[in-house]
Homo-oligomer: A and B are copies of this chain.
Amino acid sequence: LAANYDANATTDVDELFKNPDLDAVAITSIAAAHADLIVKAAEAGKAIFCEKPMALTLEEADRAINAANQADVPLQIGFNRRFSADFALAHETIVAGGIGTPQLMRSITRDPGWPAGLADAAGVPAWTIFRETLIHDFDMLLWLNPGAEPVEVYTKADALVAPDFKDNGLLDTAVVMITFDNGAIATAEANFSAAYGYDVRGEVFGSAGMVTAGRLNHSPMVLYNERGMEQRTLRSDVEMFRDAYIRELTDFTDAVRNNTTPAVTGHDARAALRVALAAMKSHQEHRPVQLEELP
């Protein structure tokens, strides 16, 4: 079911996609290759699971979505948090009206250490924190504020973890404030080096209550000794989202088998990418950016 892609050997992919035994492909290459691969896979009639972001620009995203539409193949983008039991239950609660209308939102991502190899990837890294990391938070904020549209974005970002890379445009710490058309004010926050491990949390405060999702402890085991009480923390996305990854791919294969629309579509991924691009523009121009400035 899975296609292993080697960026230096695209002809292999062309060969691979011709394989009639292959019903579906999972694209987990570098982000810059995603849109092209989606188009190729769609043209080959394969169902497509593609890691986020689906593309680096809205034009590429549209091209990929159109290709999947024309080929009538399922296209699912890898927003794993939607399949985590706590975030899914938060969403279900919000949709059911359990917290009223969202007014204040928060989504954070803190990685336990420096993403391997980023420093070498000339050109790409500058926007990684927006398009590859915070894009999870943008998707969460859109998903947890159903029916609302983002209106304005304001970004503050810096290189606090590795200041020496700032001249190369590599940002490692960012906060993005997003205002929605239902009045909700959200903050998305990311950092590339949390000393205590992996930290992904969400909070939605509404007119009738609040939901929080995410945990910091690795397991329920607590140790009490002369220093106090202690718990181990999560050290990787896999530790936190192991079950979510399983559900995500199960959901995709179900969609392929039953020929149904996947839970996370290309349109969802485009909407998150649009916020990411607005956040990047806000950072570059040092000003609040209206979403309507983007297509």
Count of A interface residues, CB-CB < 8 Å: 69
In the bound complex, CA of A158 to CA of B104 (Å): 11
Q: Is A212 an interface residue when CB atoms closer than 8 A count as contact?
A: yes
Q: Is A209 an interface residue when CB atoms closer than 8 A count as contact?
A: yes
Q: Which of A186-210 contact B (CB under 8 A)?
A: 187, 189, 191, 193-196, 199, 205, 207-210
Most buried by B among A99, A158, A160: A160
User: Which residues of chain B have C-beta atoms less than 8 A from A89's C-beta?
Assistant: 219, 221, 232
Question: Are A230 and B228 in contact, CB atoms less than 8 angstroms apart?
Answer: yes
Question: Are A229 and B226 in contact, CB atoms less than 8 angstroms apart?
Answer: no
The contact of A98 among B211, B223, B288, by CB within 8 Å, is: B223
Copies of this protein in the complex? 4
The contact of A173 among B103, B161, B208, B233, by CB within 8 Å, is: B103
Question: Are B230 and A220 in contact, CB atoms less than 8 angstroms apart?
Answer: no
Chain A 85-107, CB-CB to B under 8 Å as 1, else 0, gives: 11101100100001111011010
Interface-located stretch among A28-36, A60-68, A116-124, A177-185: A177-185
In the bound complex, CA of A183 to CA of B288 (Å): 19
User: Which residues of chain B have C-beta atoms less than 8 A from A18's C-beta?
Assistant: none
The contact of A287 among B87, B205, B228, B287, by CB within 8 Å, is: B287
The contact of A205 among B110, B205, B210, by CB within 8 Å, is: B110
Most buried by B among A110, A212, A216, A219: A219
Question: Are A173 and B194 in contact, CB atoms less than 8 angstroms apart?
Answer: no
Question: Are A177 and B179 in contact, CB atoms less than 8 angstroms apart?
Answer: no
User: Which residues of chain B have C-beta atoms less than 8 A from A187's C-beta?
Assistant: 175, 177, 187, 189
Chain A residues within 8 Å of B, Cβ to Cβ:
85-87, 89-90, 93, 98-101, 103-104, 106, 110, 152, 154, 156, 158, 160-161, 173-175, 177, 179, 183-185, 187, 189, 191, 193-196, 199, 205, 207-233, 242-243, 286-288
5 new A-B pairs (CB below 8 Å) besides A90-B221, A227-B230?
Answer: A85-B218, A156-B177, A177-B187, A195-B208, A210-B224
